[in-house]
Amino acid sequence: METVNKIRVLVAKPGLDGHDKGAKIVALALRDAGMEVIYSGLHQTLDQIMSTAVQESVDVIGLSIMSGAHLPICEKLTAMIKEQGLDNVHLVVGGVIPNQDVQVLRKMGVAAVFPGGTSFDTIVSGINGLFQ
């Protein structure tokens, strides 16, 4: 019963970057905020992330990207989400994201961007806000 309305989030680390502190602490914060959190582990291909998202029927895919490759990665993933008809899955992104890229990501279809230093409260309310 209790899990019926819980938001299910896949926290994922795409690509080769292994700096996972941010992904891990955000995963812990979302879990403490009452969400159902699945952590992908490191070095995930976008195909792996998509298949986990489908298998776990998540509501949100949260990518953590520190390497600077957020634009090409998100461009591809938003296309894949569209292609597979996962219209109800929101993509959010955090990590080392320069200000000038935030709008570019939003235009691409990324539902929310949380650059490094964003508070847990903002991330939690940002994700909750996607379902109101």
Partner 1 sequence: MGVARYIKDEKGAITEVVYQSGMKIKPGYGPQDLADAGFSYETDLGEPGEFPFTRSLHPQGYRSRAWTTRQYTGFGTPEQTNERFKLMIANGQNGLNVAFDLPTQMGYDSDHPLAEGEVGRVGMAVDSLKDFLTAFDGIPLDRIGSGLTINAVASIMMAMYQALGETKGFDKTKISCTPQNDILKEMIGRGAWIFPVEHGVRLVGDSIEYAVKELPRSNPVSICGYHIRESGATPAQEIAYAFEIAKAYIDTVVQRGIDPSDFVGRFSFNFNVYGNLWEQVAKFRAARKIWAQMLKEDYGVTDKKKLFLRGLFGGGGSGLTKEQPENNIMRGAFYALGAALSGAQTTALCSFDEAYTIPTPRSALLSLKTLELLMDEVGLRDTVDPLAGSYFIETLTLEMADKIREEMGWVKEMGGIVSGISEGMIQKKVSQQAYEFEKGLQSGEYKKVGKTPGKEDEGTDVELHQYNEKWAKSSKDSLAEVKRTRHEKAVADTLRALEKAAKSKDNVMPHLVACCKAFATVGEMADVFRQTFGEWQEPGFY
Q: Which residues bind partner 1 (CB under 8 A)?
A: 13, 15-21, 24-25, 27-29, 31, 39, 41-43, 45, 67-69, 72-73, 96, 98-99, 115-122
Q: Which amino acid is at 60?
A: V
Residues contacting residue 49 through CB under 8 Å, at least 6 positions apart: 10, 12, 14, 40, 61, 63, 77
Residue 4 CB, nearest approach to partner 1 (Å)? 23
Looking only at the bridges linking them, the beta strands covering 112-115 and 90-95 are parallel
- Cβ proximity to partner 1: between 19 and 86 the closer is 19
- What is the rounded CA–CA span in Å between residue 122 and residue 58? 20
Taking the complex as a whole, the smallest distance from the CB of residue 82 to partner 1 amounts, in Å, to: 20
Residue placing its CB nearer to partner 1 in the complex, 33 or 86: 33
* Residue number, 21 or 87, with CB nearest to partner 1: 21
